[in-house]
A and B are shown apart, each in its own frame.
Chain A
Amino acid sequence: MLGALVILALHAVLYFFFWWFRREHVGIPVLFALLSAAMLYGVGRMLVGWYNVLFIAQPAWIAPSPAAVTAIFITATPGEPAAMFDETLAAAACITSPHTTYLLDDTRDPEIARIAERHGAVRLELIGLPGAKAGKINAALALTNEEFILVLDPDHVPHPEFLERVLGQFHDEGIGFVQVAQAYGNSERSFVAGAAAEQTYAFYGPTLQGMYGLGTSVVIGANGTFRRSALASIGGHGLGLAEDLITAIRLHAAGWRSVYVPEIVSYGRVPEDLGSFAQQQLKWSRGVWEMLLTEYPRAFSRLTPLQRLSYFMIGTYYAFGLTTAIYLAIPLLYLSFGWLPASVGPAEYLQHAAPLGLFGIFIYLFSERFLCDPTRERGFHLRGFLLKLGLWPVYLKGTLLAFLRIDVPYIATAKEARTGSFWRLARVQLIGITATLGLAANMIHERLYQLPESHVRLTTGVAWGMLSFALIHAAFASSVIYAAWRATRVKPRQAEGMTVR
């Protein structure tokens, strides 16, 4: 069924592009090229995504060997709330498989030390090490000797059977690392939290399962479990903004294989306010590009062809900041200068693009049965989609910073950033909406009073079409403004629990 859908969708792609790329459709060549590139990027991702869902697979559960011992690494950084460690360390203590919990701590906070002691965690004082987690992890590796390492995020509360579900996969001596699904306990607490969670559903559902089927699943986000000898073979955990991805690509390049277990064995937290979310997304986009630009070329020759494709797709994910900017610029350029990228009738466009769009939606909805928690996660994920498009300036900035090799500037954590942040968070969107409304008013004035009547009559369709296109973008942008406004008005109910990693 899915296969048939994908094949039909392929034909829809051909149907669209054979029609789109015609000489007589070219308006202003540069704009046509940009728009076509943006569309090819989008459709290219869809194609790889469709290929990926065809190979969805789930590993069978294997009973772990009783002798398997795990070191659980939890990092603590100054500024993180003690209550969070209390909760996470308590849960880690309840994990059933044999393990030792290590708190990799540079807080110098006696309260954290007391909490660690209360829950029987070994506190390793590791101060002044590079990277978010990687420096501490590598130092801790030297101080411990368990065969398996679980790197647990401090804001993820593990279930007791976490290791039980994972460790059996290591019976295969070639498996270097295992990733588990992620789920969030706070996704309904704000618009931003809901959107942030929705953006991850498809990835931790069908996407990673397909990647497992193709031998390309990665560690990403949090809660990866590693074989010590695998980490040792690449000289320890990778350093950088996307440390987990760098580690994954190095392990794959070293010949280790990976497993993705699509089970929810912990609950974490997503950012609840826009400032934290934007900061997190900026770091991710910067970090993921960095993986592509620096780590990918080094690993390229040692990866399998599918891994090459997969890391390329991950690495270029945040280019949608750029493509969204292109889509946004097109109606504004028309409203400003009357430039059109393509001369295509609206009926024709709908006729040729509709099959592609419909099959895209069908496949998305159809593959939703592979979500990790279908009853909770099913849907069109509209909030996630809106915020993703609305936050294009963040992703574009991350892209530019990566290409210019500029580090992400320090921005205060959510708690400090909240005051007076409305303008800073939403300025691009506010400027965009103001410009759109100004251009719209100008267009209406020109059409009513200045342009020749015959020209007005002939261009009704394209002019108002472009105007509505611009207004749709403004609607996306207003989702960001709404979230920014909420960030100033409503106190995040547990802001103390949020840090930006």
Chain B
Amino acid sequence: MTRRRVEIAALFLGWFLALGFISRALFTASSSITYTRISSALHSVGRDASAVEGNMVRRARGGARRDRLKELFPNLHDPAALKNPAGLLWGAFDGGFPQSMEGFADLEQQMETTFPLVSLYQAWGDLPENQFPTSMMETIAEIGSIPIISWEPWVTTFDREVRTNLAPVERREFGSLAAIARGDYDFHIVRWAEEAAAYKKPFFIRFAHEMNDPYRYPWGPQNGNRAEDFIAAWRHVHLLFEKKGAANAIWVWSPHLSMPWLEYYYPGPDVVDWIGFGVLNYGTVASWSRWWNVDDMLERPYVPLSSFKKPMMITEFGTLPTGGDPRAWITGARVAFESRYPEVHAIVLYNQTHDDTLGGGALNWSPLAMPGTVQLLSAWMASARIR
């Protein structure tokens, strides 16, 4: 009796394993096919549903956000005009992205404005949230704005069991930009670029930002990533996008202002459309930070950057209240941009209420939390619109 049981158990286990291999192969093979099939079908259904609902909303409310934007910025969706901007485009990132648009909507309502640009961040990886964010992008387009994606090459989350060509996780970050340039991550870049091409509408892409800062991201110089590795990686990614027909991408090269020699990271005029950088005043929250005005941060690097003759974008704009008066900071910033930095054609508010990248307590960058700043910003935006 027991021997028979052992036999049955062994037989079952054998079959379980054997069929397991087959079914695993089947599920994974069919899953990528079914996933793309199902997800593209669902996306198109979702897009149609969203369009139908959007039209209903528009009719019910007698107009839509995108109608307002079209009135204010008639050329906003023209790629050529986007690469050669005339006035000043405002935008915002909200900490609730990409799950929720409520914080963003609240910001717009309180500022009595309509942002032509919407900024979001996305890390590389295997998970669905690392794939091209179609629903978020479509939403932004539907409400009439242009998305900006900061595309962050975090390389450690890729599963080595599937991506057998990759180095072990603990060694992967060293020289990651050279590995990207070699084509190690083409599996991710190509799929993403294909979906970006399928999106068709213009969007800004900000690949591997702050690549010259050794204290920030793993793709910085501290991990043996040299300037020429960055340039090779950038050009490789750009080439793949070109090959996949993603000409709708507008390329924003984004060094960090505080590090010297940033001009050595410039990948070339043929593959860069805009220059972007953050202007964030940390005040006195950290040992390395002071109360820095826009001039303190931008005056020196503006000279080499403007030599590239590209429009400039403040990709993160904001101040903390610690160590000074945020109202004075904003007033000063407006004067500075209106008088001394004519190449700045876009400013993106950093509306993050829970920034914990510094450690030691979350920072609140939202102007909504700083009394008086909202009015100053609204007035500035309103004047920018008239120009």
- The answer to whether B99 and A343 touch across the interface, beta carbons within 8 angstroms, is yes
Most buried by B among A8, A12, A24: A8
- The answer to whether B101 and A11 touch across the interface, beta carbons within 8 angstroms, is no
- The answer to whether B129 and A453 touch across the interface, beta carbons within 8 angstroms, is no
- The answer to whether B101 and A452 touch across the interface, beta carbons within 8 angstroms, is yes
Nearest CB on A from B175, distance (A): 29
B-contacting residues, A448-472, CB 8 Å: 448-449, 452-458, 460-461, 464
- Is B361 located at the chain interface by the 8 A CB criterion? no
- The answer to whether B19 and A461 touch across the interface, beta carbons within 8 angstroms, is no
The docked-state distance in angstroms from the alpha carbon of A81 to that of B10 is 58
From B16, B49, B127, give the contact of A7 (CB < 8 A): B16
- The answer to whether B39 and A347 touch across the interface, beta carbons within 8 angstroms, is yes
- Is A326 located at the chain interface by the 8 A CB criterion? no
Q: Which of B57-65, B81-89, B253-261 contacts A (4 or more CB under 8 A)?
A: B57-65
B-contacting residues, A1-55, CB 8 Å: 3-4, 7-8, 10-12, 15, 24
- The answer to whether A458 and B136 touch across the interface, beta carbons within 8 angstroms, is yes
- The answer to whether B35 and A448 touch across the interface, beta carbons within 8 angstroms, is no
Please judge, given known A-B contacts A351-B34, A464-B49, whether A457 and B27 are in contact too, CB under 8 Å: no
- Chain A residues contacting B128 (CB-CB under 8 Å) are 345, 348
Q: Which residue of chain A has its CB nearest to the CB of B97?
A: A458
- Is A350 located at the chain interface by the 8 A CB criterion? yes
- Is A447 located at the chain interface by the 8 A CB criterion? yes
Please judge, given known A-B contacts A11-B24, A351-B35, whether A452 and B102 are in contact too, CB under 8 Å: yes
- The answer to whether B64 and A453 touch across the interface, beta carbons within 8 angstroms, is yes
B-contacting residues, A310-369, CB 8 Å: 343, 345-348, 350-351, 354-355
- Chain B residues contacting A452 (CB-CB under 8 Å) are 101-102, 104-106, 108-109
Q: Which residue of chain A has its CB nearest to the CB of B138?
A: A457
Please judge, given known A-B contacts A457-B54, A458-B139, A460-B50, whether A351 and B31 are in contact too, CB under 8 Å: yes
- Is B331 located at the chain interface by the 8 A CB criterion? no
Nearest CB on A from B93, distance (A): 13
Nearest CB on B from A410, distance (A): 50
User: Interface size class for chain A?
Assistant: 20 to 34
- The answer to whether B19 and A11 touch across the interface, beta carbons within 8 angstroms, is yes
Most buried by B among A10, A15, A453, A455: A453
Nearest CB on A from B68, distance (A): 10
Q: Which residue of chain A has its CB nearest to the CB of B50?
A: A460
- Chain A residues contacting B15 (CB-CB under 8 Å) are 3-4, 7
- The answer to whether B101 and A457 touch across the interface, beta carbons within 8 angstroms, is yes
User: Interface size class for chain B?
Assistant: 35 or more
Q: Mark B29-42, 1 if CB is under 8 A from A, else 0.
A: 00100110011001
Please judge, given known A-B contacts A3-B15, A348-B128, whether A447 and B104 are in contact too, CB under 8 Å: no
- Chain B residues contacting A464 (CB-CB under 8 Å) are 49, 53
- Chain A residues contacting B50 (CB-CB under 8 Å) are 457, 460-461
Q: Which residue of chain A has its CB nearest to the CB of B58?
A: A453
Q: Which residue of chain B has its CB nearest to the CB of A10?
A: B16
- The answer to whether A455 and B100 touch across the interface, beta carbons within 8 angstroms, is yes
Nearest CB on B from A347, distance (A): 4
- Chain A residues contacting B106 (CB-CB under 8 Å) are 452
- The answer to whether A348 and B35 touch across the interface, beta carbons within 8 angstroms, is yes
Please judge, given known A-B contacts A11-B20, A347-B42, A350-B38, whether A458 and B100 are in contact too, CB under 8 Å: yes
From B19, B43, B142, give the contact of A457 (CB < 8 A): B142
- Chain A residues contacting B100 (CB-CB under 8 Å) are 455, 458
B-contacting residues, A426-463, CB 8 Å: 447-449, 452-458, 460-461
- Chain B residues contacting A11 (CB-CB under 8 Å) are 19-20, 23-24, 27
Please judge, given known A-B contacts A7-B15, A461-B135, whether A456 and B38 are in contact too, CB under 8 Å: no
From A4, A15, A350, A354, give the contact of B19 (CB < 8 A): A4
From A12, A347, A447, A461, give the contact of B35 (CB < 8 A): A347
- The answer to whether A458 and B101 touch across the interface, beta carbons within 8 angstroms, is yes
Nearest CB on A from B139, distance (A): 4
From A8, A447, A449, A455, give the contact of B23 (CB < 8 A): A8
- Is B332 located at the chain interface by the 8 A CB criterion? no
The docked-state distance in angstroms from the alpha carbon of A452 to that of B107 is 11
- Chain B residues contacting A4 (CB-CB under 8 Å) are 15, 19
Nearest CB on A from B355, distance (A): 20
- Chain A residues contacting B127 (CB-CB under 8 Å) are 24
Q: Mark A94-134, 1 if CB is under 8 A from B, else 0.
A: 00000000000000000000000000000000000000000
The docked-state distance in angstroms from the alpha carbon of A70 to that of B197 is 81
Most buried by A among B46, B65, B106, B108: B46
- Chain B residues contacting A447 (CB-CB under 8 Å) are 53, 57
The docked-state distance in angstroms from the alpha carbon of A447 to that of B140 is 17
- Chain A residues contacting B56 (CB-CB under 8 Å) are 448
Nearest CB on A from B123, distance (A): 12
The docked-state distance in angstroms from the alpha carbon of A458 to that of B102 is 10
- Is B143 located at the chain interface by the 8 A CB criterion? yes
Q: Which residue of chain B has its CB nearest to the CB of A347?
A: B39
- Chain A residues contacting B143 (CB-CB under 8 Å) are 453-454, 457
The docked-state distance in angstroms from the alpha carbon of A456 to that of B142 is 11
From B16, B46, B64, give the contact of A461 (CB < 8 A): B46
Nearest CB on A from B32, distance (A): 9
- The answer to whether A455 and B42 touch across the interface, beta carbons within 8 angstroms, is no
Nearest CB on B from A120, distance (A): 48
- Chain B residues contacting A3 (CB-CB under 8 Å) are 15
Nearest CB on B from A181, distance (A): 28
- The answer to whether B39 and A345 touch across the interface, beta carbons within 8 angstroms, is yes
Please judge, given known A-B contacts A351-B31, A452-B101, whether A457 and B49 are in contact too, CB under 8 Å: no
- Chain A residues contacting B140 (CB-CB under 8 Å) are 454
- Chain B residues contacting A347 (CB-CB under 8 Å) are 35, 38-39, 42-43
- The answer to whether A458 and B135 touch across the interface, beta carbons within 8 angstroms, is yes
Nearest CB on B from A217, distance (A): 20
- Chain B residues contacting A348 (CB-CB under 8 Å) are 35, 39, 128
- The answer to whether B42 and A454 touch across the interface, beta carbons within 8 angstroms, is no
Q: Mark B120-135, 1 if CB is under 8 A from A, else 0.
A: 0000000111000001
Q: Which residue of chain A has its CB nearest to the CB of B36?
A: A347
Nearest CB on A from B25, distance (A): 11
- The answer to whether B46 and A460 touch across the interface, beta carbons within 8 angstroms, is yes
Q: List 10 A-B contacts (CB under 8 A).
A: A7-B20, A345-B39, A347-B39, A355-B27, A447-B57, A448-B61, A454-B140, A456-B53, A460-B49, A464-B53
11 further A-B pairs in the complex, CB-CB below 8 A; given A24-B127, A355-B27, A453-B54: A7-B15, A345-B128, A346-B42, A351-B35, A448-B56, A452-B101, A455-B102, A457-B142, A457-B143, A460-B46, A464-B53
